[in-house]
Structure 1
Amino acid sequence: MSGTQVLDSLLALTQVLQADQERELDRRGLTAPRTHLLWVLHHGGPATQVQLAEALDVTPRHITTLVDALDATGLARREPHPTDRRAVLVHLTDRGRTLMQAMDIELAELGAALVDGLDAQTVDAMVRGIDHVRGRLEHLIAEHERAQREREDYA
C-alpha cells in the first residue's frame, strides 16, 4: 500500500469518526470543546481555569466561556480553591461525572468492537503503525510551520 493510499484511508476514517462524534455529542447537547474540558476533568480531577486553559491549549477567556456553559447545563461547577483564596477549582457535578463514566464505557465498547475478529498481534501492529504515522505527521507539520516562519522572517 502506498503512502497516498494510507493517507486516503486515514482521511476517510477521520471523516467517519468526526461525523459519528458530532452526532453523539449533539445528541447529548455537547460540543467537542466542552467535551474535551469534561474529559480533562474526568481523567485529571478538579483543576483551576488556568490549568484547564493549558491542558486544552486555549486562552483563559475561552475556558471561562466553556465553564460558564457547562455550569449552566449542570455538568461542571466552580468552587473555591482550598488553599488559594484567589483561585477557583472547576469540578464535575454528579451529572457530569455520570455522563463521562457513560462515555468512557461507550468508548471502551467501541474500541473493542473495532478490533473484534483481529488477533492481538495484528492489533499491536496497527497501533504501532498508526502511532508511527501520527508521529511522522506531527514532525512534518512542525517542519513545515518552521519553514513557513523562516520564509516570513525573510520576506
Structure 2
Amino acid sequence: MKKLIVPLLCLFAFSCNTAAQKNNDTKQSFEVSKTEAQWKAQLTDLEYYVLRKSGTEQRFSSPLNKNYKDGIYLCKACETPLFKSEHKYDSGSGWPSFDREIKGNVAFSTDYNLGYARTEEHCATCGGHLGHVFNDGPKETTGKRHCINGVALKFIPNK
C-alpha cells in the first residue's frame, strides 16, 4: 500500500498542474470578435500568424523597432491604443520595447509554450497576441520590458 501512495501523489500533483495550465488557455470573449476567415481577409499572413496564432516575427525585422518619432502605437487588428512613444526605449532585443502599456488596453495571461511560465500580452479589445512582458526593463522607470512584435502594431505620429 505504501508503494502505491507515492506514485499516486506524484500523478495527482502533475495532473493538477496540467489542469491549471489548461485553464489559462481558455478562450476569452473580446469586444471585437471575428471569424478566422474575417481575420485572414483583414490581416497579412505575417500579421495573422502573430496576432491570431501567437507567433513571433523575426528579430530586427520591424521598422518600428528603431522608430523614435512621437506618437502612439495601436493594435494593428482593431486600432486600440496600446503604447505611447514616450514609454518606448531601445532594449537591444530586436523588437519594439516599452516600459509600460496604456492601462486597461492590454490584457495579460500566462504562456507555457517554451516549457516555463511567461507573461503574454494581448490587445484587451480583440485578443490579438502582442508579445511578452519581462522584469528586465529600465530600473529608473518601471523595471518592465514589454517586448512587442512590431507587426502587431500600427504607429500614428503626433501632428
Q: Same fold (TM over 0.5)?
A: no
- Give the TM-score taking structure 2 as reference length: 0.26
Normalized per residue, the structure richer in strand is 2
Indicate the structure (1 or 2) with the bigger Cα radius of gyration: 1
- Which structure has more relative contact order (CA 8 Å, sep 6+)? It is 2
- Give the TM-score taking structure 1 as reference length: 0.26
Normalized per residue, the structure richer in helix is 1
